Every structure is written in structure tokens, then in C-alpha cells.
Chain A
């Protein structure tokens, strides 16, 4: 989730229908600049280079979410659009090992569709497999000379990444091949074997 208040103005977004390295590009209605969700910034048009602020979100089952947040509301299928909401059009895509429009060439240890939390600090990109983070209650690493800590909040189920001063660090949850497409120099965190 992103903050739509950008440089003091409220911006609205639509779907451009365009892709960059398997990454959906959205656009803002005010300037028609294209924005990358994974890079968290405008990549073409008048807003080029403007950053998006990421606000935490998570993916889990409805049952699990309701337990954690009994007061929750849920998006109504009465959206004003006629769509077959009983069916997720990407259902087969989630299960596929390969990405869509993918030109990924990975090593033997790399799983194209592995879900990762991706961060960029001081020009350095690093990815952390979500499954690995979920197994640990807390994990630390050093990126670009900064100590960072990963905490899985037990109550909310949210992953929180902080630096040594307890400032939150933005991260994006996406597939490994999408992250690597945008950050070819990225490293991926693994425990030493």
C-alpha cells in the first residue's frame, strides 16, 4: 500500500496496461506519469524520480485476518463493475513456476516465483525469502553498512523491518524474478549451509 499524498497533493492512480521487466506500471491521472510499484517511484513523465511512501500490508487467509482484527471490514464485491468475482483470473498464474512475460535466467538455487521482501539501502538491493522470514521470530542483517532487523509482529502478522535507530525501512513483497529484473545486482539472503 502507498500513500497518495505526494508532495502535498492527493494523487489518484489507474492501470496503464504497460509492463516494465514483468512489473506492472501504473499511472497518475494528474500528470500521466508512469510509476513502478516495485521501484516505488515514477519512471516516466513529469513526476519521474518522485518516490512513493510504502505503508505496510500483508497477505493471509480471511480466517486468520479476522482472528487478528475482529473489527475488520472487507471490500464489497458490489464495486459498480460486472466481473466474475468467484474466480481469480490469476489463479493458474499463482501456481505456475514460471512468471508471465518472464525472461528470467536463474542459477540452480534460484526459484523464479519465490516470494521475497525486497529492500534498497544506499543503492544496494537485497531480497529476503518470505518463507525464511516466517520461520524466524527475529532476524538481523547488515546491508550497505547498516544493521537492520526483521520482526514478525505476533499480534498483527505484519513483517516490520527497522534500522538500528528503530526507523521503519520500506520493503516490497514480490516474486524473486520481478525483483531481480529491476535490480539485476541484488543479493538474496540465505542461511550459511
Chain B
């Protein structure tokens, strides 16, 4: 009970504000996106759990030459891309934490997705 006594009124006000001012989750979710145009039924779009950018995409990440890549195991799975004469491997155990990589292969801006 001492916890209640020590809680300042501003904390209650804060909790009240969260409860009253937070819109229902569906509105919260719709407000970040523009659904004025769509080709799929919007009510069939579900939340996958994490919020927008909760899984952070990568932008122009670093690469390591194969002979210096001592963090790699021979039997592990990679997503392989060969484009504009450049070969790059994306370990799936890294891709699963980011899902998207924005980068360039020479002059071509590309998106690698997992």
C-alpha cells in the first residue's frame, strides 16, 4: 500500500492520459498508412507483431571478403546474389533479424529480401 502513497498525482494523470487518449489499436494501425488506394482487401491486412520498423531494414551494410570471413560456418545457409559481376552472400541468420537490405550492386540500386 505504501506504493500507492508514494505515487505522485502526475503519474496517475499520465496513466489516465494513455488510457483515454490512445486510440483503439486498429485506428492506430490504420493511421500510419494511406489506404485510400488499394488492390487487396484492407481488412485482411494483419499485424505480424512488431510495429513499423520494429524489424530494422539495413542500408548500405558492410561486406567482408570470403577469405576473411572467419565468422562463417561452411554448412550454414546463405542467400546468394550475382549481379553486375558482383557476388554477395547474405547469411540467413543475419537476414532473419532485418528481412530487408537496401544496397547497390555497381550502378543498380537493389533490395535483398528474406
Contact = CB atoms under 8 A, between A and B. Distances in A.
Q: Decide whether A and B are members of one complex.
A: yes
Interface of A: 1-5, 10, 12-21, 24-27, 31-34, 36-37, 41-46, 48-49, 55-63, 65-66, 69-81, 83, 85-90, 101, 156-158
* Number of chain B interface residues as a range: 35 or more
Interface in B63-100: 63-66, 69, 71-83, 86-100
Nearest to A93: B96
B contact face: mostly helix, strand, loop, or mixed: mixed
Contact of B89 (A26, A36, A72, A86): A72
B92 A17 contact: no
A75 B75 CA distance: 16
B54 A17 contact: yes
Contacts of B81: 1, 55-58
Interface of B: 29, 32-40, 42, 44-59, 61-66, 69, 71-83, 86-102, 108-113
A181 to B, nearest CB: 10
A74 B93 CA distance: 12
Contacts of A75: 61-64, 88-91, 94-95, 101
A161 to B, nearest CB: 16
Given A74-B88, A74-B90, A101-B48, 17 more contacts: A1-B81, A15-B50, A17-B54, A20-B45, A31-B34, A32-B32, A62-B75, A71-B66, A71-B87, A72-B66, A73-B89, A75-B63, A75-B89, A75-B90, A75-B94, A76-B62, A81-B97
